[in-house]
């Protein structure tokens, strides 16, 4: 049994000739086809049959004898009559009314139609409800090849396959594909552990082979679509990442000029933002000092971080440079990560995933608080940097530290952002410029850790893995060079804040 729609579709698309539904619905089911060349053969038309008048008999379609034929076959349960007539020939009004009342279809085939091929094609359709033929499979493959993958998704391609095959094709798992009563091929031909294109078997070896051929053609196109979409996503993400880094590092005037570009690449700058800063402590070592390998590892970890990011909390963007990975979470309606502690827990899962996929990795992670608009994005980035500095000074390896959790306030960030304060900090540390970069960084790290541990020489030595005498020497040397009184609480506070501001990334 097959639908009249599929039969007409086969005729129109193949080499059998033109077909026109003149009266009735093409949704009816046809169980058999009866071609007759004499009227006394009408009695052979049983329920569900489509009666086809041969070329010689079709001329009666414009006479009263055709009306009689319609009355007879309508009483026998047939579904309709097909005749061979030229396009300018017409069924009589009476015939059309009779067909309508009896629920019969009237079909016109072109007189040049090859009757033998027509009947063979219809017979195949009826013998197999899914009407899989070599011709149909060929047409399906050709149609799939014309898909514009730039404008189509994998789901669109699967839907097209269902339509072309006349049967449901779905995306499923490898476990779904193992059922014996199903035909399945990997949706991405190189990824057998991913999704599969699946449809039911037809219990006919030839038909199953044709269906599988079409499924492989679908898989090839779905693979191409997936590759092109991934390439576009990588390009968009890389572009957005570059813009994100520029926004964070630029001055106010430059940030304003970058705003239109940020919007074009999908960064909703008017939304509420949270910045996550992840600094790599030993990535280059894990990459065996190979900068190309290190770059590939950063790309991979960017993918891991984005996949692990909680989707219900906003839109995520990522950027990386040789020293760090920056994540941006934006929500246009309300702060997604609306408190530092909540953010820390959410980001903790990302950090855990990064560490799990890169054995031996050591990172320091800081999380800014939720801030609105472009200015807020930059503020959150500053907070994330400070939180990361806190993580370093406290040796909080592979643990996110939130800005809110360490008790820093917005006023402190504003203090850091002041040009006059930066000048004061530069002036404070100017005496250290006589030292080499390594010695100066070593001295600042020791001084910051010492102040973080409330002047505990023992804890500082343990944190930095050096002898207590080395700590004492560096601290004494620092206060002498900076010409500060360690016992003065105001000088000590300013020094502590200045050390945080100058903490190396």
Q: Which helix (H) or strand (E) holds 49?
A: strand 49-53
Q: Which residues lie below 8 Å from residue 147, measured CB to CB, with a gap of 6+?
A: 156, 157, 160, 221, 225
Contact call for residues 47 and 32 (beta carbons, < 8 A): no
Whether 335 and 402 share a structural domain: yes
The DSSP output letter for 213 is: H
Residues 49 and 106 in one domain: yes
pLDDT tens for 312-353 read: 778 888 888 888 889 988 887 755 455 445 566 778 889 999
Are residues 362 and 273 both part of a single domain? yes
Q: Are residues 23 and 54 in the same domain?
A: yes
DSSP-H helix ranges across 250-290: 252-264, 283-286
Confidence grade of residue 15 (pLDDT, cut at 50, 70, 90): very low
Most confident of 35-44, 158-167, 214-223, 467-476: 467-476
Task: Judge whether 63 lies within some domain.
Answer: yes
Does the residue 333 lie in any domain? Answer: yes
Residue 367: which of 334, 408, 395 has the closest Cα?
A: 408
- Same structural domain, 123 and 157: no
C-alpha separations of 198 from 96, 170, 185, 204 in Å:
44, 5, 7, 17
- Residue 19 maps to which CATH number? 3.40.1390.20
Higher pLDDT, 310 or 81: 81
Burial bucket for residue 359 (CB in 10 Å: 0-12, 13-18, 19+)? exposed
Q: What is the mean pLDDT of residues 270-277?
A: 88
Cβ(295)–Cβ(357) under 8 Å? no
Q: What CA–CA distance (Å, rounded) separates 352 from 408?
A: 25
> From residue 94, how far is each of 39, 62, 108 by CA, in Å?
19, 10, 17
Looking at the structure, tell me whether residues 155 and 109 fall in a common domain: no
Number of domains in the chain: 4
| 102 and 215 in a common domain | no
CATH value at residue 280: 3.30.70.270
Residue 74 lies in a domain: yes
- Per-residue pLDDT at 396: 84
Task: Look up the domain containing 453 and give its range.
Answer: 419-501
Domain boundary residue among 378, 410, 442? 410
Answer whether residue 117 shows pLDDT above 60.
yes
Choose the final residue of a domain: 210, 228, 246: 228
Q: Are residues 75 and 22 in the same domain?
A: yes
- 273 and 387 housed in the same domain: yes
Task: Classify residue 254 by burial, with Cβ atoms within 10 Å: 0-12, 13-18, 19+.
Answer: exposed
Per-residue pLDDT at 472: 93
Global pTM? 0.45
Is pLDDT at 307 greater than 80 in this prediction? Answer: yes
Are 252 and 378 in contact, with CB atoms under 8 Å apart? no
To the nearest 10°, report the CA torsion of 93, 94, 98, 99: -30
Binned at pLDDT 50, 70 and 90, residue 130 comes out as: very low
Same domain membership, residue 176 and residue 86: no
Q: What is the CATH number of the domain that holds 463?
A: 1.10.10.2840
Final residue in a domain of this structure, among 75, 108, 127: 127
Q: Are 365 and 428 in contact (CB under 8 A)?
A: no
Residue 377 lies in a domain: yes
HEC string of 91-113 equals CCHHHHHHHHHHCCEEEEECCCC
Torsion of CA 89, 94, 98, 101, to 10 degrees: 110
DSSP percent split of the chain into helix, strand, coil, nearest 5: 55, 15, 30
Average pLDDT score over residue span 81-86: 90
If 0-12 CB within 10 Å is exposed, 13-18 middle and 19+ buried, where does residue 85 land?
Answer: buried
pLDDT (mean) for 120-139: 63
In a domain, 246, yes or no: no
Task: State how far the Cα of 90 lies from the Cα of 96, in Å rounded to an integer.
Answer: 10
Task: Kindly state whether residue 23 falls inside one of the protein's structural domains.
Answer: yes
List, for residues 442-480, the tens digit of each pLDDT value: 999 899 888 888 788 998 898 888 999 999 999 999 999
For residue 389, the model assigns a pLDDT of: 82
- Give yes or no: residues 330 and 393 share one domain: yes
Residue 72 lies inside a defined structural domain of this protein: yes
CA distances from 288 to 72, 297, 302 (A): 88, 12, 20
> Is 360 domain-assigned?
yes
Same-domain status, 334 and 392: yes
């Amino acid at each position: 049994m097959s639908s009249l729609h599929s039969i007409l579709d086969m005729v129109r698309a193949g080499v059998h000739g033109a077909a026109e539904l003149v009266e009735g619905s093409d949704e009816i089911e046809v169980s058999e086809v009866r071609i007759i060349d004499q009227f006394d053969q009408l009695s052979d038309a049983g329920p569900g049959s489509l009666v086809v008048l041969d070329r010689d008999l079709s001329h009666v379609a414009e006479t009263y004898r055709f009306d009689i034929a319609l009355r007879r076959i309508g009483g026998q349960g047939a579904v309709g009559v097909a005749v061979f007539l030229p396009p300018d020939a017409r069924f009589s009004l009476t015939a059309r009314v009779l067909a309508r009342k009896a629920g019969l279809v009237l079909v016109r085939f072109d007189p040049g139609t090859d009757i033998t091929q027509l009947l063979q094609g219809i017979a195949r359709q009826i013998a197999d409800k899914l009407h899989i033929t070599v011709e149909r499979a060929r047409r399906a493959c050709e149609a799939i090849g014309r898909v514009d993958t730039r404008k189509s998704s994998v789901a669109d391609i699967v839907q097209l396959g269902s339509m072309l095959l006349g049967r449901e094709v779905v995306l499923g798992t490898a476990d779904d594909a193992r059922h014996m009563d199903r035909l399945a091929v990997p949706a991405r031909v190189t990824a057998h552990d991913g999704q599969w294109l699946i449809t039911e078997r037809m219990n006919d070896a030839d038909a199953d082979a044709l269906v599988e051929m079409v499924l492989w053609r679908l898989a090839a196109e779905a693979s191409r679509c997936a590759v092109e979409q991934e390439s576009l996503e990588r390009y968009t993400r890389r572009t957005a990442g570059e813009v994100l880094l520029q926004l964070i590092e630029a001055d106010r005037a430059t940030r304003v000029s970058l705003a239109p570009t940020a919007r074009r690449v999908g960064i909703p700058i008017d939304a509420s933002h949270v910045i996550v800063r992840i600094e790599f402590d030993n990535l280059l070592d894990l990459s065996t000092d190979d900068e190309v390998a290190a770059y590939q590892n950063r790309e991979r970890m960017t993918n891991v971080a984005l996949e692990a990011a909680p989707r219900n909390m906003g839109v995520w963007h990522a950027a990386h440079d040789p020293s760090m990975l920056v994540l941006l979470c934006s929500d246009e309606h309300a702060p997604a990560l609306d408190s530092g502690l909540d953010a820390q827990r959410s980001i903790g899962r990302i950090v855990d995933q990064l560490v799990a996929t890169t054995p031996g990795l050591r990172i320091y992670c800081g999380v800014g608080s939720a801030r609105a608009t472009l200015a807020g994005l930059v503020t959150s980035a500053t907070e994330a940097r400070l939180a990361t500095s806190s993580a370093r000074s406290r040796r909080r390896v592979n643990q996110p530290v939130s800005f809110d959790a360490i008790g820093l306030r917005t006023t402190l960030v504003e203090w850091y952002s002041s040009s006059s304060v930066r000048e004061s900090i530069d002036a404070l540390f100017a005496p250290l410029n006589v030292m080499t970069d390594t010695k100066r960084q070593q001295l600042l790290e020791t001084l910051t850790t010492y102040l973080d541990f409330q002047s505990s020489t023992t804890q500082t030595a343990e944190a930095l893995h050096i002898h207590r005498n080395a700590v004492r020497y560096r601290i004494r040397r620092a206060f002498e060079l900076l010409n500060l009184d360690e016992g003065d609480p105001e000088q000590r506070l300013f020094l502590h804040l200045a050390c945080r501001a100058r903490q190396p990334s």
